[in-house]
Structure 1
Amino acid sequence: MSDKGCIKCGGKDANTKEVAMTGTGLSKMFDIQHNQFVVVYCTNCGYSEFYNKKSSAASNILDLFFG
């Protein structure tokens, strides 16, 4: 059995959110948010990690967060 959890506080509960952000240059000027990420955050302390939505499967992200 694994004792891994949040790397900051050891908490075992996490949630996810999807966010979009602008890049640089023209996308920033015209507020085009083409960079999409999934944010995994600890519900205890708020520590967060960003994962590129295009390269990560949502089902594997919590496994990456908890090791």
Structure 2
Amino acid sequence: MEKQQYVCPKCGCTHYEHDQFQATGGNFAKIFDVQNKKFITISCAQCGFTELYKATSSDGWNVLDFLMS
């Protein structure tokens, strides 16, 4: 499989930053403040255009997150 290089669709820059964040999803998660949705972000280093990608999460971490909140 060939590795692809990032190219910003807005400005054409090839430099980027990546990060991740969690968010709540559904009424049950909102009531108990459980952040059960995980996303990876890819942001252009030049213009800041950001794409979100859904990340996989394990049920074990979701239960642990629920117990810690």
TM-score by length of 1: 0.70
Measured after TM superposition, the shift of residue 18 of structure 1 is 1.0
Measured after TM superposition, the shift of residue 31 of structure 1 is 1.4
Alpha-carbon displacement from aligned partner over 1:11-52 (angstroms, at most 9, x marks no partner) = 110111010000021101221101011101101111111111
Residue of structure 1 equivalent to 2:40: 38
**Aligned residues: percent identity?**
32
Tell me the SS of whatever aligns to 2:39.
strand
Residue of structure 2 equivalent to 1:49: 51
TM-score by length of 2: 0.68
Residue of structure 2 equivalent to 1:59: none
- Paired letter, 2:39: F
Q: Which has the higher contact order (CA 8 A, sep 6+)?
A: 1
Mapped to 1, the partners of 2:45 and 2:31 lie a distance apart of: 34
Residue of structure 1 equivalent to 2:66: none
Mapped to 1, the partners of 2:45 and 2:14 lie a distance apart of: 8
RMSD: 2.2
How many residue pairs end up in the alignment? 54
Flag structure 1 segments of 5+ consecutive residues without an equivalent.
Answer: 56-67
Mapped to 2, the partners of 1:29 and 1:10 lie a distance apart of: 42
Residue of structure 1 equivalent to 2:30: 28
Flag structure 2 segments of 5+ consecutive residues without an equivalent.
Answer: 58-69
